[in-house]
Structure 1
Amino acid sequence: LFRSKDSVIQTLDIEIADNDYERETGLMYRHSMQEKQGMLFVFKESKPRYFYMKNTNIPLDLIYLDDNYKIVSFQKNAKPNDETTLPSHANAKYVLEINAGLADQWTLKVGDSISY
């Protein structure tokens, strides 16, 4: 659930990746994801995060969130199977992956927040 100043922007069906195996595998090897689906990576601590798209066949927007579930940065339109590092540019405890283009379509901004 995205919120911007207490208004709901979008409701999503998310998978939670909260153990080492799920965080390492993420959305690898999948060939599609419905528009209102995503994956939320949950880490134990907030620090700079570095993702890449190895073996990920779906173009994605990566949304980096702080301890309070507020958006701190984005990596938009990440290309499938690209091993270029996608840094958070800020400390993040959570990372939400959604289909590429949706962050712009939903006009998400730094400071918007989620709840789940």
Structure 2
Amino acid sequence: MIRLCTLMAFGMLAACSAPQAKPDNESDSSSAAARTSTLLPVVVRTAKGAHRFDVEVARTPQEQEQGLMFRKEIAADGGMLFPMEPPRTASFWMKDTLVPLDMLFIHTDGSIAFLKAQAEPYSREPVSAGVPVAAVLELRGGRAAELGIREGDRVSWGGCAVPAERRATELNFCPAPAR
């Protein structure tokens, strides 16, 4: 029980820190340009077909703490991926997040374990799948419903999601096909 509480507390940090100070010479547009240069393709396969997102990746603990806090908008086909290496039980909250988000908690087999739709801005209530996950994908609130994304749908990213764009990255996620 103590271990579970510790993991949940660590996971909650993914969205609860104060904004990082920018160097004086870094403008909002230059940080936005830096984010767009590191976009990763993510494909969600649903009963309606496949849909591609180009998302930022929160790789470091600092990036995971910041997440999508203080953003005023999220692109329709944008978002952020939080890889969990090794897989773990992750818990997020919406403190200092200005817009609603859909949170997709992804099993190690690529299936969506839990989908929290329209997570409420500023909420301090933890959101978790309650099981270890390989990643969490955050999308603009309401986007999952618009596209018919549901628990059990399949997710892949990197060159595994878009083989024609295969490139050298350690972030290829190629789950086995569903049986």
Superposition TM-score, scaled by structure 2 size:
0.60
For the residues of structure 2 that align with 1:93 and 1:18, how far apart are their CA atoms?
13
Residue segments in structure 2 that go unaligned for 5+ positions in a row:
1-42, 158-179
For the residues of structure 2 that align with 1:98 and 1:4, how far apart are their CA atoms?
16
Q: Which runs of structure 2 are paired with 1:1-116 in the superposition (5 Å)? A: 1-4=43-46, 7-8=49-50, 10-116=51-157
Q: Which amino acid aligns with 1:2?
A: V
Assess if the C-alpha contact under 8 Å between 2:94 and 2:122 holds in 1: yes
The CA RMSD measured in Å over matched residues stands at 1.6
For the residues of structure 1 that align with 2:149 and 2:46, how far apart are their CA atoms?
8
Q: Which runs of 4+ in 1 moved over 3 A?
A: none
Could you report, residue by residue, the CA deviation over 1:63-104 in whole angstroms, capped at 9, with x for unpaired residues?
Answer: 000112221111111111111111213321200000111111
- CA-CA distance at 1:51 after TM superposition: 0.3
For the residues of structure 1 that align with 2:124 and 2:155, how far apart are their CA atoms?
28
Calculate percent identity across the aligned residue pairs: 28
Aligned residues: 115
